[in-house]
A and B are shown apart, each in its own frame.
Chain A
């Protein structure tokens, strides 16, 4: 993975840039000492690191506007950063860039239960949005695994999903409006507490644009009343393909669970050693959760269990209490941590049509033998969003490269069967150079044309999403 060489002219005027930023921000909001900027050298994709020129932590939309105006005038690239939990390197800086962190913008600006919205500053963490409304019985639906730490700003940038999006949708389906600062410092309001766009759906384009179109400083989010109850059921199978078939049959039967999660044997064993959730030792397990009143849950689970029994499960465990539900979810929620305790891993995020699940699982197994690297599969089965975890040893020379090659083959396979490279993590730098396996040159060109409109100088997070070759002319014209 390559990043563009830093612009020496920008490196040479660091002092001037810092001085100008200090003229619009408090001293503590401008981080320029090389020992301190290292805190911003990477996000959760830790394989790639580079300290930025400067990191700034503005507190208001006005401060963000002032920062962007200066960077625009100076021609300095800006890399927006939420909480830095991106697995795709979305917040990886270059040495000539300013990191614009949203961490200090975490206020709740308005809660309105009559209209079922909350307005927050974008640096607020995902879970604390729900936290702000839970006393009234409401919640914010998108629930990425990193929800304790990740910021709404990053959720919007990546259009984050989560385990419960089968029913509630992803970020773009729950985002109603934004206050956004354009690269030249212009502040725009798009959407709000009302629904749908007056002309073009710009909000829909901004969500998922990976910080390349503007910096979102405030967001209006839809909040929902919590369901009366929820209950998971755990199913174990001796055959991965049978588990895949069971998922498809449940969906076809007309019940819509809020979540269908899948884990394979490697992940089951790892989480058992790590979290001791009491999972059965089998080839694949599913966790299926439904919501409603007790009677509604009984009825839905009745249908689901009936379908599961037709597939000869080795285990069927219906939760009878809150403790049991928590235990069923415990293993799934600690899966990434458990795999991390075995070895280093990279986590992929391709989505496939649910019908291709058996084929893709089999091919991943074959590739695992070919590369000699273990893979654990844990994912949102209801929507086909896979998370193969490829284990490798970061201290073993060549292992990371081998692992990345293996990952690329899996992602190409996802595209080949009609799916995509990334379902909820984003492209960032990680999948950037694979974009042409999914898109033709003209499909990428029209996307870059959208960036031309929002950020004509190509200063916002410029080296992400698009293959460097494809974006070179535009980036170089800017510099």
Chain B
């Protein structure tokens, strides 16, 4: 394993590589086709290099543990807006999630529907391309249209276009209070209708999820409101009125219970330790129930108002067969090495788009040393 301790060394490790490299942050999110090669770890590139609470800006080296970034922000009453998920329970991995890994996989959580994805909060990157050249894009200011936005391209590139060395974020104030409206017994279609209604109100829903198999058995639908005490109470009550037809069971106000509920959704806890493949599907929310009715899933979790579907499937089943006529994409997040090779982890792209993706890989990594084959 190569573990550079500075950006310069990272550059030299890549330019000096004679064979393929497996790029790794904390190693907690091994998603993608299996890759052979020597491990190149960014875990030793650590430290928050700049934090200005008054400018809502944080810059950290890629290997900084996510927990350290979150603690630094929490000390000033701020947070990463996009609520990154922790993949460890779902994927059965161990290790320390890094901020660079979060960016490389564009990891977001339930708040994505209101505050955007990781890529929306990311305002700057430093990275090393496949030639070993140190590059930068974006910066540390939240409005920046100077040149092409390669920041977005680096979010979710999974180390196939470049290895991140430093990442900058626009952060937000933490909210004091969260309440969750809970409904029980709704069918998938009713639940998505309820979530859509909630998201169409002015009450700023920051979480909208549905568990067809709720913690107590019957389906449970969850809608989260966050903010300062009086405002949350007011909006939760107004929302409960607006959703009267769906039968609100109760409004959960306990902080620990709320944190646990949304961690369950964020980390897809119902699938942790289970057998079978895990698929992650992004569709238009109203298409969700139709898709789900066409697959032989053993369990389902809906997030993002129904637009994000986690499906637990019998090993080796191709979920994409059910997506005929449904726009969107499906990723095989967990599966055997053989299935991840056979089924294509990432959604196949139409020929002209695949040509662009291939072209980008060729330009950013002409020698094909960065996670070759991982994304196609």
Q: When A173-B120, A227-B202, A420-B141 are in contact, do A447 and B148 touch as well, CB less than 8 Å?
A: yes
Q: What are 13 contact pairs spanning A and B, CB under 8 A?
A: A112-B284, A194-B328, A199-B346, A203-B152, A207-B152, A251-B53, A252-B54, A295-B230, A354-B56, A420-B141, A453-B363, A454-B356, A465-B147
In the complex, what's the smallest C-beta–C-beta distance from B347 to chain A, in angstroms? 4
Query: Would you call B149 and A208 a contact (CB within 8 A)?
Result: yes
| A side interface size, CB within 8 A | 90
Tell me, yes or no, whether A376 is within 8 Å of chain B by CB. no
Query: Would you call A194 and B283 a contact (CB within 8 A)?
Result: yes
Query: Would you call A161 and B147 a contact (CB within 8 A)?
Result: no
Which residue in chain B gives the minimum CB-CB distance to A245? B54
Query: Would you call B347 and A251 a contact (CB within 8 A)?
Result: no
Instruction: Write out the residue numbers on chain A whose beta carbons fall within 8 Å of the beta carbon of B174.
Output: 254
Q: When A114-B285, A193-B327, A384-B55 are in contact, do A435 and B196 touch as well, CB less than 8 Å?
A: no
Option from A195, A200, A295 in Cβ contact (under 8 Å) with B234: A295
Query: Would you call B146 and A353 a contact (CB within 8 A)?
Result: no
* Stretch with Cβ within 8 A of A (4 or more), from B13-21, B130-138, B253-261: B130-138
Query: Would you call A173 and B116 a contact (CB within 8 A)?
Result: yes
Query: Would you call A208 and B145 a contact (CB within 8 A)?
Result: yes
In A108-124, the 8 Å CB interface with B consists of 112-117
Tell me, yes or no, whether A299 is within 8 Å of chain B by CB. yes
Q: When A198-B346, A248-B54, A384-B141 are in contact, do A204 and B152 touch as well, CB less than 8 Å?
A: yes
Query: Would you call A251 and B56 a contact (CB within 8 A)?
Result: yes
Query: Would you call B329 and A194 a contact (CB within 8 A)?
Result: yes
Query: Would you call A446 and B230 a contact (CB within 8 A)?
Result: no
Q: When A194-B327, A195-B117, A195-B307 are in contact, do A201 and B153 touch as well, CB less than 8 Å?
A: yes
In B82-128, the 8 Å CB interface with A consists of 106, 108, 112, 116-117, 119-120
Query: Would you call B77 and A446 a contact (CB within 8 A)?
Result: no
Option from B149, B161, B327 in Cβ contact (under 8 Å) with A200: B161
Query: Would you call A192 and B363 a contact (CB within 8 A)?
Result: no
* Residue with the greatest number of chain B CB neighbours at <10 A, chosen from A165, A169, A427: A169
Tell me, yes or no, whether A54 is within 8 Å of chain B by CB. no
Query: Would you call B199 and A423 a contact (CB within 8 A)?
Result: no
Number of A-B contacts (CB under 8 A): 247
In the complex, what's the smallest C-beta–C-beta distance from A86 to chain B, in angstroms? 12
In the complex, what's the smallest C-beta–C-beta distance from B66 to chain A, in angstroms? 19
Query: Would you call B363 and A194 a contact (CB within 8 A)?
Result: no
Query: Would you call B356 and A195 a contact (CB within 8 A)?
Result: no
* Residue with the greatest number of chain A CB neighbours at <10 A, chosen from B139, B353, B356, B357: B356
Tell me, yes or no, whether B249 is within 8 Å of chain A by CB. no
In the complex, what's the smallest C-beta–C-beta distance from B223 to chain A, in angstroms? 14
In A82-115, the 8 Å CB interface with B consists of 112-115
Instruction: Write out the residue numbers on chain A whose beta carbons fall within 8 Å of the beta carbon of B137.
Output: 443, 446-447
Option from A186, A251, A299 in Cβ contact (under 8 Å) with B231: A299
Tell me, yes or no, whether A255 is within 8 Å of chain B by CB. yes
Instruction: Write out the residue numbers on chain A whose beta carbons fall within 8 Å of the beta carbon of B327.
Output: 192-194
In the complex, what's the smallest C-beta–C-beta distance from A445 to chain B, in angstroms? 9
* Residue with the greatest number of chain B CB neighbours at <10 A, chosen from A161, A227, A353: A353
In the complex, what's the smallest C-beta–C-beta distance from B368 to chain A, in angstroms? 16
